[in-house]
A and B are shown apart, each in its own frame.
Chain A
Amino acid sequence: MLAIANVTKTFNPGTPNEVRALRNVSLVLENGSFLIIIGTNGSGKSTLLNAVAGSFYADSGSLTLAGQTITRWPEHRRAKLIGRVFQNPFSGTAPSMSIAENLAMAAHRGRPRGFGWALNQRLKSELRDRIRSLNMGLEDRIDNAIGTLSGGQRQALTLLMASWLKPELLLLDEHTAALDPKSADQVIRLTHEIIQRDKLTTLMVTHSMQQAVHLGDRIVMMHRGQVLHDLQGAERARVRPEDLLKRFDDVRRREQLDPTVAEMLQRNYI
């Protein structure tokens, strides 16, 4: 279970560039639930995932995962519990190292690393099997540098790496946004398969209303660093892509009468 309680994050506080990226966000994610986060650009979706992963510490609030308070854990320590796929396909793999070496490192996620061989025959044959299940024909190229692969192939492998050791939480941040439609479909199918098979507790950010509606069991819409809508149960089951788009329109309309602008108008003209 993941519990995000009153988490706040402000970038560049006290400067003209101050951004209140997260304002008192609270969310509880039951074990095995698959939450989709949508929201306009800059609404704080990535910041929320980064705060959970530990890319930086939240200014206030607390984070609990799998019964442990991880609020002050550094990122590499949280990685023991968290598997992660980034938006940029280059972020999740070490380009000059081989496919096999990349996966071998993932097979040690969160474990102490000593002087044992990174690769042995047993691990190699296991990872060949798992790579074969991707149906990308990569199982014969496991000694090739991973940097020679396409974005879609790298994202599929990153997904395999993030879930190699079953994580307590899987974080996916627009992990298909940089891919061509065909690769994106392939990676989404794989995402669905892995999450179903391992019953992974998942936080996934997407900009695709199709994905939001067809994947996951709960939809959260963020706006200006806050949770604006939280669709669960029957409400979630009924929702269609058009409904979500309408909510975006509502936000945009309200945006035109931004509270601070409204306040200023009031002060100056009324």
Chain B
Amino acid sequence: MTLLIGATTIGLILALLALGVYLSFRIFNFPDITADGSITLGAAVTATLLVHHVSPALATLAGFGAGVLAGMATGLLHTKFKINSLLSGILVMTALYSVNLHVMGKSNVPLLNETTLASQAEGLGMKWLHLGVDAELHVFGWTVGLRDAATLLAMLLLVAGLGLLLYLFFRTNLGTAMRATGDNPQMIRALGVSVDFIIILGLALSNGLIALAGSLLAQYQGFADVQMGIGMVVWGLASVIIGEALVGSSRIGLLITGAVIGSVLFRLLVAIALRWGLNPNDLKLITAAFVFVALVAPSLLRKLKPAPQPKPSEA
């Protein structure tokens, strides 16, 4: 049970990564690789501040802010210096590796006795219920550690809140313009929107969310590590793809919900696979293979279907 709760909690935290990836890859068609660096950046900034006894809320916010800056950097490289989108992300991601090492001062920052958002959530839970540290809850006949339940609940509320905010944002004038930028930049430019500005803003928001995921992950697992971001973009993408398959719709609200559920589901699958004896070293290979299959399967299926009557070519 603890295993499943842990996987669900990590899935919820990484749902913010999935939302960030959804924003860049799907809303903008911008394959933003910055994510691998910005998720670590969020973790590094928050962990370092926590070690220096900054309040967890502030440290988390700073992690988010650092991600915003990283996204802006990628956006500026792409829009102002006309560097290809993939390369812009790779450049910033590579640079962030050094930045992250500088921020942390070493390759790993443990959070042993620091007050974190996770420990604060536990504290609140215990205060409300007048329970001790090792108290257990009995839910539907299962025994659940209180700290685990409190953290899970806190993450659920946070992710639901942020997902809702993102959904509402997409219905504002600015948010609609952002969606249109990915859909048809020529059109939105002709309606007076600076596509460059929107791309920078969108990447800032996307990487802010991703860094926030890193910040929360560091606090949950109790350390920040310079390697923790490797392959994260692909994990986020896998969650988004699972989500899309689940909701099977193009409605924004459903896609956002789908990305969150996809992330949790993906984590649960990973936890179960590892439990069954999957070699952890193979995890990234399998994830990459999964995304590959998900990307090519739709067109492959279309080819396998009986060919439609040849239509006269359109002018």
Cβ B187 vs Cβ A94 within 8 A: yes
Q: Min CB distance, A49 to chain B, in Å?
A: 12
> How many angstroms from the CA of A114 to the CA of B174 in the assembled complex?
5
* Contact status B250-A113, CB under 8 Å: no
| 5 other A-B residue contacts (CB within 8 Å) besides A105-B173, A105-B191, A114-B172 | A76-B189, A101-B180, A110-B192, A113-B173, A114-B174
B residues 183-209 near A (Cβ < 8 Å) are 183-184, 186-195
Give the shortest distance, in Å, between A67 (CB) and chain B (any CB).
19
Does A77 contact B192, Cβ atoms closer than 8 Å? yes
Contacts of A91 in B (CB 8 A): 184, 186-187
Q: Which of B177, B183, B315 contacts A96 (CB 8 A)?
A: B183
Q: Which residues of A contact B183 (CB under 8 A)?
A: 94-97
Evaluate contact between B187 and A93: CB separation under 8 angstroms.
Answer: yes
Q: A205 within 8 Å of B by Cβ?
A: no
Task: Name the B residues within 8 Å of A93 (CB-CB).
Answer: 184, 187
Enumerate the 7 nearest inter-chain pairs by beta-carbon distance, A residue then B residue, closest first.
A79-B192, A110-B192, A94-B183, A113-B173, A118-B176, A94-B180, A94-B184
Residues in B whose Cβ lies below 8 Å from that of A72: none
The smallest C-beta distance from B180 to any residue of chain A, in angstroms, reads 4
Known contacts A79-B191, A79-B192; decide if A97 and B176 are in contact (CB<8 Å): yes
Known: A94-B179, A94-B184, A101-B176. A108 touches B171 (CB 8 A): no
Q: Enumerate chain A residues within 8 angstroms of B188, measured Cβ to Cβ.
A: 94, 105
Which residues of chain B are within 8 angstroms of A101 by Cβ–Cβ distance? 176, 180
The answer to whether A75 touches B190, judged by C-beta atoms less than 8 angstroms apart, is yes
Chain B residues contacting A28 (CB-CB under 8 Å) are: none
* B contacts with A, residue count (CB < 8 A): 24
**Chain B binding surface SS class:** helix
Please measure, in the bound complex, the distance between the C-alpha atom of A82 and the C-alpha atom of B192, giving whole angstroms: 9
Distance to closest chain B CB from A83 (angstroms): 8
A134 CB, min distance to chain B CBs, angstroms: 19
Indicate if A86 sits at the interface (CB-CB under 8 A).
Answer: yes
Say whether A109 faces chain B, with CB atoms less than 8 Å apart. Answer: yes
Chain A positions 68-83 with a Cβ under 8 Å from a chain B Cβ: 74-77, 79-80, 82
A148 to chain B, nearest CB (A): 11
B48: min CB distance to chain A, Å: 33
Q: From B174, B187, B250, name the one whose CB has the most chain A CB atoms within 10 angstroms.
A: B187
B123 within 8 A of A: no
Does A106 touch B at the CB level, under 8 Å? yes
A119 within 8 A of B: yes
Interface assignment of A45: CB less than 8 Å from any CB of chain B: no
Complex alpha-carbon distance, A84 and B192, angstroms: 11
A94-B184, A96-B250 as given contacts; A108 in contact with B173, CB under 8 Å: yes
Residue of B nearest to A178 (CB): B315
Contacts of B189 in A (CB 8 A): 75-76, 79
Does B145 make an interface contact (CB < 8 A)? no
* Chain A residues with CB under 8 A of B184: 90-91, 93-95
- Chain A residues 90-132 with CB under 8 Å of chain B are 90-97, 101-102, 104-106, 108-111, 113-119
**A172 contacts chain B at the CB level, 8 A cutoff:** no
* 8 A-B residue pairings within 8 Å (CB atoms): A76-B189, A79-B190, A79-B193, A84-B190, A91-B184, A94-B183, A110-B191, A113-B172
Residues in chain B near residue A4, CB distance under 8 A? none
The reply to whether B190 and A92 contact each other, CB–CB distance below 8 Å, is yes
Q: Is B175 an interface residue (CB 8 A)?
A: yes
- Judged by a CB distance under 8 angstroms, whether A220 is at the interface is no
**In the complex, residue of chain B having the shortest beta-carbon distance to the beta carbon of A164:** B191
> For the complex, what is the distance from the CA of A101 to the CA of B174, rounded to whole Å?
12
Q: Which residues of A contact B176 (CB under 8 A)?
A: 97, 101, 104-105, 113, 118
| Cβ contacts A45-56/B at 8 Å (1 or 0 each) | 000000001000
